[in-house]
Amino acid sequence: MKKSFCLVLFFVLLVSVAGAVSKEEKAAFQTIQQELENVKNGTSAFVKNLGKFSDFESDFLKVLEKYPQLGQPKTVFLNEAPAKILIPLNLDDQTVGGFFQVATNGTQIISWLPWDETLTPAFKVSRKLWESNRLANEFPEIAELIPLKATYSPGTPVELSDLDEYFLIDNTEYIPSKTQEERKAYTDSVGLKEYLGRRTGSSKCLSYAASMASDWWKTILGLKLEKYTSFVNGIMEYGMNPRLVESYYYAIDASPYTFKKFTGKDRVTGEEIAYSPKHFSYMMSCVPLPPKVNDPLKKEITYTLPQSLYAMDQPFFNVFNHSEGKVDEIREALKRYGIIYAQHTVRVLGDRDSLRAVGMHAVNIVGTAKLKGQEMVLYYETFGKNHRDYLEDSFYGPKLRAFPVKFFYQGNVFPHKIYLTTKIENGNMIINFRDYLNRPIVPDSISVVLDNSIVPVKLVSDIQIPISSTMHTVKLSFMKKYFYAPEENGPYEREFHVFDGKIVEVKEYEKVYASMQKAKPDWIQRLVRKPSSYYDYLVKREEDLRISLVKDFKDCQKESKLLAVIKDIFNKNTFLQHSQLYNDFTAVEKFSLNQN
């Protein structure tokens, strides 16, 4: 309480020196003062959320420890009307910086202050000049923070309270703040260019959206997020470094699933613009990556992948393409696979319609909703993580936006499987559930049927089922939110045939083979479109499962009862009789009969 009293006393003295402060500015000062108390007490929802998986909260506390004193509030004007209120930290007797931003009512924080790698608040201004009677708009040091228009760029900024019938994936509040916009004070010092203007900065939306998709999956997996200094603005940001993602994009050969890898020139860096979401998706989930790469522009900079890589498991899956997305299908994909790495189309006719054949701006789809009765897709922007009421400037913008589905060109997800291992031990069949990092994972539901009798089991990562030495069939069904495999088409279903310590399971192969046949492109599709990442994945999965199963069949050659059960599976499934696995099983069975 003593520190709060000192801040209030300082504010009173400040008013007497600098002149009148409006009631809204006074309220804004008190709003930030209370928020800082919340941060120190560990009760700030915003800071606690961003600090759950990263160093954001601990770094914020260090910033406040170094710079505990709030500076004078000043109102920013747009078209002669108040647009927002800026409140800096006093860095020393000579300088203020950082700038919390509050709505004109003085009670809603619309943006938190940024800092650099030394935990020094950015956007430094002379304290003497700041405390003079000059308008906030007159300071060139904060030109990036001055709104440019009273309207917004395409995509309606929203808060959840604006929406009806909304669905939002979990953990969106943990996605760290980032912006692809540059900052003049930084670009001047590192040899890059700078452009003031709304969305006129670096063309890095694809790498930023890709990095945010990685961040989201790390929160789902409970992994720690990294931190880095932004390549284009020098701000300390949290999560996967977009520049690291982009550098690997440059280093990996073009994806077989995209028509174009680069386009145009970036106005800030001068390099070719990374263009393809499918190449980013391919690079993050489909191919082995070198442990380190050099920056494509500044060769002396080396990036090293973190141990958990991008936190991606299976090859990416294309939910929709060529502007063929539907809201209900997108909602279902979000429920099954989580965040959708997406791309807007080019907008025409004053942003009223879409040039459906061309992808343009990359974002992450996180939900669906109705806004004023119209069905919308919800997405997170790559221009910051701010409140709906934040007017776009040359640095940040609102985080959550709504857009009709016709403005989305494509959307990719990154499936994560639940992996099973099984063994017979001490009269029990032991089933282990693991994630792709081989860590225990607990399904949301588990159902076990042993020889037509339900076996009660707890929701745990390792279950045991009593098994005798006779022949058994164990049917297993399980699921976990966001951990779906596209070929499962619902909960995971497995059917284990167990005899004398041996286990054979054909159901998984059956699902993969059926999905592969369904996804197989006809000659017209092969002629006019690139290959499908999902079909290629299924082809490899079918081969791997088949090789493993043939080994199991051979191990069971002397178990006539077990071979008879497997043969019955093929006899009852005429579709499966067209597979190579059936031919391989027939060969093993004939060899077994000849041996006996």
For every residue of 466-492, DSSP letters joined together read: E--SS-EEEEEEEE-TT---GGGSSSE
| Structure confidence by residue, pLDDT tens digits, 183-212 | 999 999 999 999 999 888 899 999 999 999
Q: Is the pLDDT of residue 548 over 50?
A: yes
Query: For 427, which DSSP code?
Result: T
What residue type is assigned to position 418 of the chain?
Answer: I
Domain identity same for 42 and 2? yes
Cβ atoms of 158 and 371 closer than 8 Å: yes
Distances (CA, A) of 329 to 166, 308, 388, 406, 503: 14, 30, 27, 13, 37
Closest CA to 276 of 264, 287, 261, 265: 261
Range scoring the smallest mean pLDDT among 277-286, 375-384, 552-561: 552-561
Average pLDDT value for residue range 484-493: 94
Domain identity same for 29 and 136? yes
How far is 97 from 118, CA to CA, in rounded Å? 14
Domain identity same for 24 and 127? yes
Q: Is the pLDDT of residue 4 over 90?
A: no
- pLDDT for residue 153: 87
Q: Of the candidates 442, 474, 505, which is a domain's last residue? A: 505
- The answer to whether residue 537 is domain-embedded is yes
Domain identity same for 2 and 134? yes
Q: Please report the sign of the dihedral spanned by the C-alpha atoms of residue 48, residue 49, residue 55, residue 60.
A: negative
- The answer to whether residue 294 is domain-embedded is no
Pairing of strands 317-320, 492-499: unpaired
| DSSP codes joined into one string, 34-87 | HHHHHHHHT--HHHHHHHSSSSHHHHHHHHHHH---B---EEEEETTEEEEEEE
Q: Of the candidates 109, 143, 177, which is a domain's last residue? A: 143
Total Cβ atoms within 10 A of residue 105 = 13
Residue 180: both structure tokens together:
């692809």
Annotate 452-469 with three-state secondary structure.
CEEECCCCCCEEEEECCC
Q: Is the pLDDT of residue 15 over 70?
A: no
- pLDDT for residue 523: 82
Q: Of the candidates 143, 166, 182, which is a domain's last residue? A: 143
Nearby residues of 332 by Cβ (< 8 Å), 6 or more positions away: none
Instruction: Supply angle C-alpha 433, 438, 441, rounded to 5.
Output: 40
More confident residue, 33 or 558: 33
How far is 503 from 452, CA to CA, in rounded Å? 18
- pLDDT for residue 346: 79
- pLDDT for residue 573: 92
Cβ-defined contacts of 431-437 (< 8 Å, 24+)? 431/462, 431/463, 431/464, 431/465, 431/476, 432/461, 432/462, 433/461, 433/462, 433/478, 434/461, 435/221, 435/313, 435/483, 436/313, 436/314, 437/221, 437/308
How far is 326 from 329, CA to CA, in rounded Å? 5
Domain identity same for 587 and 550? yes
Range scoring the smallest mean pLDDT among 286-300, 384-398, 524-538: 524-538
Cβ atoms of 284 and 245 closer than 8 Å: yes
- pLDDT for residue 2: 45
- pLDDT for residue 3: 47
Closest CA to 250 of 310, 307, 295, 315: 295
Strand-pair partners of 362: 343
Domain identity same for 461 and 515? no
Look at residue 423 and give its three-state secondary structure: strand
| DSSP codes joined into one string, 535-571 | HHHHHHHHHHHHHHHHHHHHHTTT-HHHHHHHHHHHH
Distances (CA, A) of 88 to 137, 322, 367: 14, 46, 34
| Structure confidence by residue, pLDDT tens digits, 251-283 | 999 999 998 999 999 999 999 999 999 999 999
Domain identity same for 498 and 555? no
- The answer to whether residue 430 is domain-embedded is yes
Domain range holding 89? Answer: 1-143
- pLDDT for residue 86: 98
Strand-pair partners of 383: 179
Q: Is the pLDDT of residue 10 over 50?
A: no
The number of domains in the chain is 3
Confidence of residue 558 (pLDDT cuts 50, 70, 90): confident
| DSSP codes joined into one string, 370-389 | EETTEEEEEEE-SB--B-TT
Closest CA to 96 of 129, 65, 64: 129
Confidence of residue 577 (pLDDT cuts 50, 70, 90): very high
Domain identity same for 483 and 460? yes
Average pLDDT value for residue range 507-530: 90
Q: Where are the alpha helices (DSSP H) in 252-320?
A: 277-285
Confidence of residue 526 (pLDDT cuts 50, 70, 90): confident
How far is 216 from 282, CA to CA, in rounded Å? 18
- The answer to whether residue 69 is domain-embedded is yes
Domain identity same for 454 and 517? no
Domain identity same for 481 and 521? no
Domain identity same for 111 and 138? yes
Average pLDDT value for residue range 134-144: 95
- The answer to whether residue 383 is domain-embedded is no
- pLDDT for residue 470: 83
Q: Is the pLDDT of residue 594 over 70?
A: no
Domain identity same for 491 and 562? no
Closest CA to 392 of 121, 179, 226: 179
Mean pLDDT of the chain: 92
| Structure confidence by residue, pLDDT tens digits, 343-370 | 999 776 666 667 777 888 999 999 999 9
Nearby residues of 544 by Cβ (< 8 Å), 6 or more positions away: none
Percent of the chain with pLDDT over 90: 84
- The answer to whether residue 167 is domain-embedded is no
- pLDDT for residue 508: 97
Confidence of residue 18 (pLDDT cuts 50, 70, 90): very low
Confidence of residue 179 (pLDDT cuts 50, 70, 90): very high
- pLDDT for residue 350: 65
| Structure confidence by residue, pLDDT tens digits, 431-443 | 999 999 999 999 9
Distances (CA, A) of 420 to 221, 437, 478: 17, 13, 11
How far is 553 from 586, CA to CA, in rounded Å? 10
Percent of the chain with pLDDT over 70: 95
Annotate 337-360 with three-state secondary structure.
HCCEEEEEEEEECCCCEEEEEEEE
- The answer to whether residue 103 is domain-embedded is yes
| Structure confidence by residue, pLDDT tens digits, 285-328 | 999 999 999 999 999 999 999 988 999 999 999 999 999 999 99
- The answer to whether residue 596 is domain-embedded is yes
